[in-house]
Amino acid sequence: MHTTVGIIGAGPSGLLLARLLHRAGIDSVVLEAKDRSYVEQRQRAGILEQTTVDTLRAVGAGERMDREGLIHDGIELRFDGRAHRIDFPELTGGRSVMVYAQTEVVKDLIALQLAEGGPLFFEAQVHSVEQANGDRPTVRYTHEGREQTLTCDYVVGCDGFHGVTGSAIPAAARRTYERTYPYSWLGILAEAPPVYDELIYAHSERGFALASMRSPSVSRLYLQVPNGTDVADWSDERIWDELDARLATRQEPGWKLARGPITAKSVLPMRSHVTEPMRHKRVFLAGDAAHIVPPTGAKGLNLAATDVIVLAEAFTELYKNGSTALLDAYSETCLERVWRAEHFSYFMTTTLHADPEQSAFDTRLQLSQLARIAASPHAATELAHNYVGAPISQDAA
The per-residue pLDDT for 369 is: 98
Q: What are phi and psi of 349, to 5 degrees?
A: -65, -50
Q: What one-letter code names the amino acid at 294?
A: P
The bridge status of strand 97-99 relative to strand 74-79 is: unpaired
Report, as an integer, the average pLDDT of 85-111.
95
Q: Which stretches of the chain are assigned E, i.e. beta strand? A: 2-8, 28-31, 47-49, 70-72, 74-79, 82-87, 97-99, 120-121, 124-130, 138-143, 146-157, 175-190, 199-202, 209-215, 218-225, 262-276, 279-280, 283-285, 291-292
CA dist 43 and 321 (Å) reads 39
Set 22, 72, 203, 280: catalytic member: 72
Kindly report the number of other CB atoms within 10 A of residue 19's CB atom. Answer: 26
Report, as an integer, the average pLDDT of 78-105.
95
- CA separation (Å) from 201 to 33, 162, 177, 185, 384? 35, 29, 27, 13, 14
Set 12, 137, 194, 295: catalytic member: 295
The per-residue pLDDT for 394 is: 42
181 is an active site residue: no
| Model confidence band, residue 186 (pLDDT cutoffs 50, 70, 90) | very high
299 is an active site residue: yes
Higher pLDDT, 56 or 117: 56
For residue 302, the Cα-to-chain-centroid distance in whole angstroms is: 5
Q: What is the pLDDT of residues 337-361, one digit of tens each?
A: 999 999 999 999 999 999 999 999 9
Residue 395 has pLDDT above 60, yes or no: no
DSSP conformational letter for 118: S
Fold classification of 2-71+99-179+271-354 is FAD/NAD(P)-binding domain (3.50.50)
330 is an active site residue: no
Set 201, 222, 280, 353: catalytic member: 201
Residue 150 has pLDDT above 50, yes or no: yes
Per-position b or e across 345-371, b if 16+ CB within 10 A of its CB: bbbbbbbbbbeeeeeeeeeeebeebbb
Set 22, 299, 330, 353: catalytic member: 299
Neighbour-count burial of 79, counting CB atoms closer than 10 A to its CB (0-12 exposed, 13-18 middle, 19+ buried): buried
The per-residue pLDDT for 135 is: 81
Check: CB of residue 154 under 8 Å from CB of residue 284: yes
Report, as an integer, the average pLDDT of 323-328.
96
| Model confidence band, residue 75 (pLDDT cutoffs 50, 70, 90) | very high
Set 183, 222, 330, 387: catalytic member: 387
Per-position b or e across 50-76, b if 16+ CB within 10 A of its CB: bbbbebbeebebbeebeeebbebbbbb
Q: What is the pLDDT of residues 306-325, one digit of tens each?
A: 999 999 999 999 999 999 99
Which residue in 353, 69, 342 sits closest to 204, CA to CA?
Answer: 353
Tell me the whole-structure pTM to 2 decimals: 0.93
Check: CB of residue 186 under 8 Å from CB of residue 239: yes
Q: What are phi and psi of 337, to 5 degrees?
A: -70, -40
Q: What is the pLDDT of residues 263-312, one digit of tens each?
A: 999 999 999 999 999 999 999 999 999 999 999 999 999 999 999 999 99
SS3 107: helix
Report, as an integer, the average pLDDT of 192-210.
95
Mean residue pLDDT across the chain: 94
The per-residue pLDDT for 239 is: 98
The per-residue pLDDT for 244 is: 96
DSSP conformational letter for 136: P
